[in-house]
Amino acid sequence: MDKDSIVLYPGCSLETSSSHYLQSLKTVFGVLDIPFRILDNWNCCGATSVKSIDEHLNLLLSFKNLALAENQGFRELVVPCASCYFRLLGAEYELNKDNKLCEDLNKKSDLPYKGKVKVRNILDFFVNVAGLDLISEHVKMPLKGLTIACYYGCLNTRVPVEKAFDVREYPKTMDNIVRTLGANVVDWSYKTDCCGASLFITVNSIAEKLVGKVLKDASLRKVDCVTVSCPMCQTNLDTKQSIIRKKYSIEHPIPVPFITQLMGLAFGCTPKELGLKKNFVPIESILEKSSVN
Amino acid sequence: MEFNELEKKKILYKETTLCYQCGKCSSGCPLVEEMDMFPHIVIHLASLGLEEKVLNTDTIWICASCYACAVKCPNDIEIPGIMNQLKQMAVEKGLKPKRNEIYKFHKTFTGDILRRGKVHEFRIMLEYNLRLGKPFKNAMLGPKMLFKNKLHFTPPKEVKGFRKWLEKANRKG
């Protein structure tokens, strides 16, 4: 892929509750010297809520984003949020499969779309487009001595099998990035377990139980942090961690950095450039351990 | 029965009838212990045309669309998609959703997108609590998030021409 043609779809949470994800992503792209643009005039993907109660609206929202990308001259849409990725890829899949549906939407919405845009997950982008060699070249402060668990959550990988960029039930893309940064990665059967998503808001007790299981197992494996690439997972694992730790007798705090924050740390970026202050469980502890080793 | 309703029943039947009851969806579901009917039983009843019997379950609402089941299904049935169809059927029939607190969240979230094409998380939290009649739900979260500047008081700007476009694209016929 031509690197000049990269367009990012940030999604709503990267502009507010997970702005540290977007900030660290931009910083990392800067270090790797990857020029990019943000999709002009993008709209919300609808997330799981719209899909749950209005299938047609769900399709329309993603159709518009895909059509915008195509009309703005891009062939690929790079998506950092797992939920947005899942929704956009779902629409790409559905519209490619059903030409009549695509034509119908073209006509009704006055927005031409030929189905030429490929939706790409950010992990897929880092490993298969930018490449691990490029990442490795920029590592100035290897994360030596750290043991890290990679948490993919659900929607990064549970796509139709022909669209999958990684093994759906035991993905390794993020593991490979973390290894390139110099850290140890644990083999982890919880890497694609569910964090509860919006149950975190609606039925707290259920989401807390799910997050508790994930964090408990991470702590038993004595990891220094759990890294993620999904804003929903990050929020659920990080925001109420002190309460959940107490409830499930988890002794030590477990930082939950975005993969881009870890990359930035290994590239020697400052905490400010990576928005580290926005994480609830402080990440500084892992920095100290890494610099000692 | 209206034509539309019959079409929906047909779609549901066509998808669920592929199921041969291996039970993998239920055994791999992270939320199964919170449900009042196993997912594979929901699929079974739907395939028999008895979906009325599942419209009043917790199961269809508790499903978080994590797709663990869909990845495991040997017949590639998109089970979360079926759960969504059943949610929508329940609402269309005027049944009170068994897990109303979950339905109300989806409704609040969707309504907020329709306003401007992007979500305003702060407003969703407030409006959701008001709809539930529980003003202090998740209350300890709000100040923490605001303090870290993770929630904004002011909504994002409307996506240019969003509402007009949607009205046109969404028209019937």
pTM above 0.90, yes or no: yes
- Arithmetic mean of pLDDT, A95-105: 94
Structural domain that includes position A98:
3-121
Question: Measured between CA atoms, how close is B132 to chain A, in angstroms?
Answer: 10
Q: Is the pLDDT of residue B107 over 50?
A: yes
Say how far apart CA A227 and CA A265 lie, in whole Å. 13
Number of domains in chain A: 2
Question: Measured between CA atoms, how close is A293 to chain B, in angstroms?
Answer: 31
Q: Is A156 found in the same domain as A58? A: no
Say how far apart CA A151 and CA B172 lie, in whole Å. 43
With vertex at residue A49, the alpha carbon angle to CA B42 and CA A37, rounded to the nearest 5 degrees, is 135
Q: Are A83 and A154 in contact (CB under 8 A)?
A: no
For residue range A123-171, list pLDDT tens digits in order. Answer: 999 999 999 999 999 999 999 999 999 999 999 999 999 999 999 999 9
Q: Do B117 and A43 touch (CB under 8 A)?
A: yes
Q: Do B145 and A239 touch (CB under 8 A)?
A: yes
Chain B contact set for A158 (CB, 8 A):
66-68, 70-71
Query: What does the block give as tokens for A80?
Result: 């950092």
The alpha carbon torsion through A14, A19, A20, A25 (nearest 10 deg) reads 50
**Closest to A6 (Cα-Cα) out of A159, A18, A28, A136:** A28
pLDDT, chain B, mean: 94
Q: Residue A292 has what pLDDT?
A: 55
Q: Is A84 found in the same domain as A17? A: yes
Which DSSP category does B157 fall into?
Answer: P
Q: Is A56 found in the same domain as A141? A: no
Q: Residue B171 has what pLDDT?
A: 81
Q: Is A117 found in the same domain as A175? A: no
The answer to whether residue A127 sits within a structural domain is no
Question: Measured between CA atoms, how close is A193 to chain B, in angstroms?
Answer: 8
The fraction of chain B above a pLDDT of 90, given in percent, is: 84
Judge whether A162 is closer than 8 Å to chain B, CB to CB: no
Q: Is A250 found in the same domain as A231? A: yes
Q: Residue B69 has what pLDDT?
A: 98
For residue range B148-157, list pLDDT tens digits in order. Answer: 999 999 999 9
Say how far apart CA A196 and CA A207 lie, in whole Å. 5
* Residues ≥6 apart with Cβ < 8 Å to B102: A198, A199, A202, A203, B61, B62
Q: Residue A87 has what pLDDT?
A: 98
Q: Is the pLDDT of residue A2 over 80?
A: no
The answer to whether residue A126 sits within a structural domain is no
For residue A191, what is the domain's CATH number? 3.40.50.11810
Chain B contact set for A196 (CB, 8 A):
64
Q: Residue A216 has what pLDDT?
A: 98
Q: Residue B173 has what pLDDT?
A: 58
A118: exposed, middle or buried (Cβ count in 10 Å: 0-12, 13-18, 19+): middle
The fraction of chain B above a pLDDT of 70, given in percent, is: 98
Q: Is the pLDDT of residue A1 over 50?
A: no
Can you give the residue ranges of every domain in chain B?
3-92, 100-169
For residue range A102-116, list pLDDT tens digits in order. Answer: 999 999 998 999 999
Chain A contact set for B138 (CB, 8 A):
201, 204
